Structure 1
Amino acid sequence: MVKTISLIGFIQAIFGILIFVSKRPKHLSFTIITFWLFIIAISLGTKLLPFDTVEYLKFGVFPILFSHGPLLYLYVNSLVNENFKLNWKHLLHTLPIFIIGIQRSLGNQVSMNSSPDLSENPNYIYNNIYYALLIISVVTYWILSIQLILKHRKSIPYFFSNYTAKNTLNWLILLIVVFLFLIVIELFISYIEKLMNTKFTELSSIHINLTIFTFMLVFFGIKQTAIYKKQKISLSDSVKTKNTQAALNERQEKDLNKEIIQYLKTKKPYTNPDYSLQMMVEDLNVPRYKISHVINASQKKNFFKFINEFRVKEVKEKLADPLYKHYTLLGIALECGFNSKTSFNRIFKEETGVTPSHYKKSLQL
């Protein structure tokens, strides 16, 4: 049974590696997740090897488990930080792997095929210490990763016109919560087994957890693409933004504001639910920091609110147009660039003070 579960997880990991290696366009996040799946494949693959063969590998799989926390943290960074690059300082994250691996090799305490459960190898105090350090490492890195995601979410209204599964990273938070839940269950079972001096099952919970985790990582990771495409303000842009008032005089600011509004009215790019600040930058061929300044200063609002005001106006126009009288409210909302019924109802009420259905009824009076 253990080998069957490990085989399923191993195949999933290899399948994911092949997909991410061939995925285009290339992005750093794909490289990190590919390496992550490779580490998982090693961890699960050892259960498929003959025990005698595994015994020669004294380093052990257990130290490799310390890589999951750092890999998640680096993966999240590659998604939410446009300017993120891997460098030599990131190798510091691997120190626990090598230190513990060397100690275990010299001490010959646990083979690669051994389980890291607290209920096993009770005579070796190092095993309990390592297991506690593993839990601390995973929880710490994953809390830091959630903080990165939450910080990123605060910047979404300045760069995007809709909240989507791609830019909110809800799936990644779900993945973290599920995995932490599985760890808690594993600890609870290990504690009860040790307390009762028995073993409920021969199954290795760490391999079950990795198999479930691998499935979710591949399933959701395939759908995730790069969030930012040269959108976030770089250091040079930040300096320019501080001096935008000097770079743009009052006349230039008014002219650019008119150009933006005219562009939105004539082209209606906001009907694209994925419309972003970068798309506006590319269409107008105007530096990002200038457009951001005009929207924030002249319109007194962020990009999200600015664009959705145009969408609400478009909805109101279509509701008053006889050509759209057979359309449902949701159908009109989707035509105007909203990506869900929930966000449409909320934004429409914020802008008009009434719900879309109430507004539609008022037109029929």
Structure 2
Amino acid sequence: MLYNSKILLFVLCLFVVTPNKLVASPELNSNSNLFLIQIDSLIKQKNISNDMTKLELLVLYNDALFEKHPDSVSIFKNLAIINADLNQPKDALVFTKKYINNTLDFSILNDGAYNVISDSEEYETLSEDYRLQLDWLTFLFLYVALIGFFFTIILSFSKKSNRQAKLFIGGFVGVHSLFILEFVLYISNFQYKVPHTYLMASAAALLYGPLLYLYFKSVISDFKFRTKDLLHFLPSLILILFLFPMYSLSGDEKVKIMLDINVVYNSNRYVIFISKVLSLTIYAILIGRDQYLYERKENHSKHNKVQTINKWKKTIYKIHIVYLISYIIYGLPVSGLLASFPYFINYIQVSIMSIMVIYLSYMAYVQPEIFKQEWTNLSEASRLSMEKYQKSGLTNALSKELKENLIKLFVEDKVYKENNINLEILSERLNTTRHNTSQIINEHFNMNFFELINKFRIKETINILKNDTYGNLNIIDIAYEVGYNNKVTFNKAFKKETSLTPSEFINSQFKKNVFVLGISLDGLRSQSKQNKC
């Protein structure tokens, strides 16, 4: 009540002194053309702090603004701070936004005057729009993004089988993680500090569909990436070229776009949204078609591995469809095609992406064999061979024990050197049945008995040949040494394993030895000359 009385008294005094014009107290100067530097110097000189004097300043600044003073930006700042200090949050909101839009200076909100209106809705709006926002949800999404990047790096650099498929699924997780990271920067307002991250994920907006499609192709068929498959990435290149003018802008210009000051590039949102929806839809149809045909083909298979991998791919595909739907719901209002939307829709879309990243990372940890894809690339005969062991009754503990014993027989005892070794004799050495031995070799080594024997024999042969520096050994002697009964079988097995005949391999080793010897001799001659000198 006392505060309102002061304001009323102040206004009445002004009109009594000069009825045609608002005039401040004589001490502050009544000239309507008072320059801002004079006002600021008076503030410092008088150490002004009482409400009446602030109201006088408010009138002077409004008067200067009305008369279109050239330093209007400073007027916005002073009016924002004074209104905040006088607990007038609505005016403080208006002038604060005008000042920030003109200067991109967010530090004004650090002024102590805003503490007066800190409980108001207007200050909450300013804080949400401009100040750094950190909460548990922000850290959660950041954590998911980091997990996704870690998964992408680990999977992409893995040198195990079907690296092609791993690169595709790793890239798929990577672009999701990039989008989640950009969302974190956006909701936390940290993007104002790093403006060049604005729409960074949009450069990869058209990669979601192709990467997932090529991954499915790699694991459900004997797919080899060829030059013509680069066409799947052509739309992404076109989109990047389209966005390049915006990406090349300065940081301040990008901040203006974020604040909707610069509306020149608003059409980018429509282009990104429409092209991404089309890409996601087209590739969802292609993946669904291929998956349907694959399931029809593999419908007879009851093997656990086949069922596990099929379930895994179905889950990824379902999450992809849900993401497509959520993106359409999110993108319609964001792109401007719908008037408004509840803000929580942003979180729904990113939450679905986070679920995708967490699910893939979890499966990589719990069931890493899914990413190896050895099973999906096996021949039909090999699958049928493995499926026959489905109900053998061999426990996991016994299977592990037999595997370890088998490795010991081959590595330490070198049973493969015995020319009469067969599955029956090997089973006796393992103290188990022929059926169990066959199952152990198939499941743990992904090959049959003869393939395993030949692998060890040829490896032993290579070691012998490499150590035979002077070429004193005969090929037939080596063949007998490693367990073969004749030269023909030995030559055939050797070429299958190394793509070279034994003679070709020996010649290559000889040339290598001569080259090394030549370097050594040159070194000795050089040393000899130095000693003579």
TM-score range, shorter chain: 0.5 to 0.7
The structure with the largest alpha-carbon Rg is 2
Give the partner amino acid of 2:360. Answer: L
Mapped to 2, the partners of 1:143 and 1:111 lie a distance apart of 36
1:79 is aligned to 219
Query: Contact 2:168–2:214 at 8 Å: present in 1 too?
Result: yes
Query: Contact 2:216–2:287 at 8 Å: present in 1 too?
Result: yes
1:187 is aligned to 328
- Deviation per residue, 1:93-125 (Å, 9 max, x gap): 22222211221222569969999xxxxx89834
Aligned 1:203-222 pairs, distance under 5 A: 203-222=346-365
Q: 1:54 to 1:206 in 2, by over 3 A?
A: farther
Residue 4 (1) aligns with residue 4 (2): no
Residue 130 (1) aligns with residue 278 (2): no
Q: 1:202 to 1:173 in 2, by over 3 A?
A: closer
Give the partner amino acid of 2:225. Answer: L
Mapped to 2, the partners of 1:103 and 1:230 lie a distance apart of 43
Residue 162 (1) aligns with residue 303 (2): yes
- Deviation per residue, 1:235-254 (Å, 9 max, x gap): xxxxxxxxxxxxxxxxxxxx
Mapped to 2, the partners of 1:171 and 1:112 lie a distance apart of 42
Query: Contact 1:63–1:96 at 8 Å: present in 2 too?
Result: no
Query: Contact 2:277–2:328 at 8 Å: present in 1 too?
Result: no
1:231 is aligned to 379
Query: Contact 2:148–2:174 at 8 Å: present in 1 too?
Result: yes
2:191 to 51, 74, 86: 51
What is the TM-score normalised by the length of structure 2? 0.38
Shift of 1:273: 12
Mapped to 2, the partners of 1:168 and 1:112 lie a distance apart of 46
Shift of 1:199: 4.0
Shift of 1:7: 0.4
- Deviation per residue, 1:198-257 (Å, 9 max, x gap): 543484554333212211222235521313344159xxxxxxxxxxxxxxxxxxxxxxxx
Shift of 1:138: 1.0
Q: 1:141 to 1:112 in 2, by over 3 A?
A: farther
Query: Contact 2:191–2:197 at 8 Å: present in 1 too?
Result: no
- Deviation per residue, 1:52-105 (Å, 9 max, x gap): 4542357732131211111101111111123x2223222222222221122122
Mapped to 1, the partners of 2:197 and 2:330 lie a distance apart of 28
Which one scores higher on RCO, CA 8 angstroms, separation ≥ 6? Answer: 1
2:237 to 95, 98, 101: 98
Q: 1:17 to 1:195 in 2, by over 3 A?
A: closer
Query: Contact 1:9–1:210 at 8 Å: present in 2 too?
Result: no
Mapped to 1, the partners of 2:172 and 2:214 lie a distance apart of 10
Mapped to 1, the partners of 2:181 and 2:357 lie a distance apart of 13
1:259 is aligned to none
Count of residues in Structure 1 that have an aligned counterpart in Structure 2: 247
Residue 174 (1) aligns with residue 315 (2): yes
Secondary structure of the residue that 1:25 maps to in structure 2?
Answer: coil
2:286 to 133, 144, 156: 144
Give the partner amino acid of 2:155. Answer: F
2:202 to 62, 67, 74: 62
Mapped to 2, the partners of 1:59 and 1:143 lie a distance apart of 27
Q: 1:86 to 1:221 in 2, by over 3 A?
A: farther
Mapped to 1, the partners of 2:291 and 2:255 lie a distance apart of 34
Mapped to 2, the partners of 1:122 and 1:202 lie a distance apart of 26
Q: Which runs of 5+ in 1 are unaligned?
A: 116-120, 234-265, 286-365
Give the partner amino acid of 1:7. Answer: L
Query: Contact 1:6–1:48 at 8 Å: present in 2 too?
Result: yes
Q: Which runs of 5+ in 2 are unaligned?
A: 1-134, 382-432, 452-533
Residue 33 (1) aligns with residue 169 (2): yes
Q: 1:86 to 1:11 in 2, by over 3 A?
A: same
Q: 1:175 to 1:129 in 2, by over 3 A?
A: same
- Deviation per residue, 1:144-170 (Å, 9 max, x gap): 122222222233367x55254556522
Mapped to 2, the partners of 1:114 and 1:175 lie a distance apart of 35
1:153 to 286, 291, 295: 295
Mapped to 1, the partners of 2:210 and 2:181 lie a distance apart of 21
Mapped to 2, the partners of 1:274 and 1:133 lie a distance apart of 50
Mapped to 2, the partners of 1:74 and 1:66 lie a distance apart of 13
Q: 1:67 to 1:48 in 2, by over 3 A?
A: same
